[in-house]
């Protein structure tokens, strides 16, 4: 009888241990990592760069990165974010839900930079994000920069939705150059990048709507490369169909 009871207790203990091991494995499957947005492939001194800290589990507490440690200037943040992502691991599709914060920073020096590590309570325990190195290139030489502005389409009418496009052969410091556009409503913003025959093109696309007839002026308020201002003439948008500088 005692042997039977002992066997039952042993089975219960084994099941309990298996359950605990399963929970531990589930928690260990949580990934906590940092990431740099390199959609334009390069990071230069003085440019806006998005650096994120993400987990595949809910985050209940996260420390703040010490940007001075990597000689970076904090432009804005933290910004809370949730997103989903599909990846392939060993040929298998994996759907991930990401939670975390991102920051907009500007690096002050060229060279290899180690991003600051942070700690967060996620997946049932406190985790430390592994460090990551980023290659920061020298600031863009403004003497080699060429920028222009245009509209798509060129001929506009009151109430019509159009695109105002700022195009440069180098990426400016600003991740989203600001516009001044009284009488014109901005609806959305997007970016485009292309490279052909070694020549790069960065396009900043502002989807807009004309809300009043007559002449409207669009100004690029701030456009810098390596901290140096690049002058863009005000763009005079003639709603009757004549578009000129």
Number of domains within the chain: 2
Please list, residue by residue across 49-79, b when 16 or more beta carbons sit within 10 angstroms of its beta carbon and e when fewer do.
bbbbbbbbbebeebeebebeebebeebebee
Residue 2 lies in a domain: no
End of a domain among 112, 136, 160? 136
Yes or no: say if 171 and 47 are a contact pair by the CB < 8 Å rule. Answer: yes
pLDDT value at residue 197: 86
pLDDT value at residue 40: 57
Average pLDDT over residues 199-204: 92
Q: Do both 206 and 237 map to the same domain?
A: yes
User: Where is average pLDDT lowest: 51-65, 107-121, 206-220?
Assistant: 206-220
- Which residues, other chains included, contact 151 with Cβ-Cβ below 8 Å and sequence gap of 6+? 162, 163, 164, 165, 237, 243
pLDDT value at residue 53: 94
Question: Which domain covers residue 233, as residue numbers?
Answer: 142-244
149: pLDDT strictly greater than 90: yes
129: pLDDT strictly greater than 80: yes
Q: Do both 149 and 230 map to the same domain?
A: yes
What is the Cα–Cα distance from 201 to 168, expressed in whole angstroms?
6
- Chain-centre distance of CA 70, in angstroms? 19
237: pLDDT strictly greater than 50: yes
Residue 209 lies in a domain: yes
156: pLDDT strictly greater than 60: yes
205: pLDDT strictly greater than 90: yes
Residue 99 lies in a domain: yes
Closest C-alpha among 121, 14, 114 to residue 57: 121
Residue-wise pLDDT for 110-120, tens only, equals 999 999 999 99
pLDDT value at residue 85: 76
| End-to-end Cα, the chain, rounded Å | 98
End of a domain among 111, 136, 161? 136
Average pLDDT over residues 105-132: 91
9: pLDDT strictly greater than 70: no
Q: Do both 166 and 231 map to the same domain?
A: yes
Residue 7 lies in a domain: no
pLDDT value at residue 1: 46
Average pLDDT over residues 181-186: 87
Q: Do both 163 and 79 map to the same domain?
A: no
pTM: predicted TM-score of the whole model, two decimal places: 0.66
Q: Provide the token pair at 80.
A: 């809370």
Residue 55 lies in a domain: yes
Mean residue pLDDT across the chain: 81
pLDDT value at residue 130: 80
pLDDT value at residue 116: 93
pLDDT value at residue 20: 34
Q: Do both 130 and 148 map to the same domain?
A: no
Tell me the chain's radius of gyration from C-alpha atoms: 26
């Amino acid at each position: 009888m005692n042997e039977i009871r002992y066997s039952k207790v042993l089975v219960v203990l084994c099941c309990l241990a298996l359950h605990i091991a399963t929970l531990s494995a589930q928690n260990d499957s949580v990934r906590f990592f940092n990431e740099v947005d390199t959609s334009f492939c390069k990071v230069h001194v003085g440019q806006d760069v998005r650096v994120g800290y993400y987990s595949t589990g809910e985050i209940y507490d996260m420390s703040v990165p010490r940007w001075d440690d990597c000689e970076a200037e904090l432009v804005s943040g933290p910004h809370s974010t949730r997103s989903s992502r599909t990846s392939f691991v060993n040929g298998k599709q994996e759907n991930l839900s990401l939670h975390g914060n991102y920051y907009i920073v500007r690096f002050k020096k060229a060279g290899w930079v180690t991003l600051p590590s942070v700690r967060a309570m996620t997946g049932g325990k406190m985790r430390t994000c592994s460090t990551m190195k980023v290659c920061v290139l020298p600031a863009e030489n403004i003497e080699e920069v060429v920028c222009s502005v245009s509209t798509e389409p060129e001929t506009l009418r009151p109430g019509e939705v159009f695109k105002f496009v700022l195009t440069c052969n180098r990426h400016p410091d600003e991740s989203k150059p600001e516009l001044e556009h009284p009488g014109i409503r901005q609806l959305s913003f997007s970016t485009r990048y292309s490279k052909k025959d070694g020549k790069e093109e960065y396009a900043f696309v502002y989807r807009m709507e004309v809300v009043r007839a007559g002449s409207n002026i669009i100004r690029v308020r701030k456009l810098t490369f390596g901290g140096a201002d690049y002058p863009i003439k005000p763009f005079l948008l003639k709603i009757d169909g004549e578009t000129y500088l």
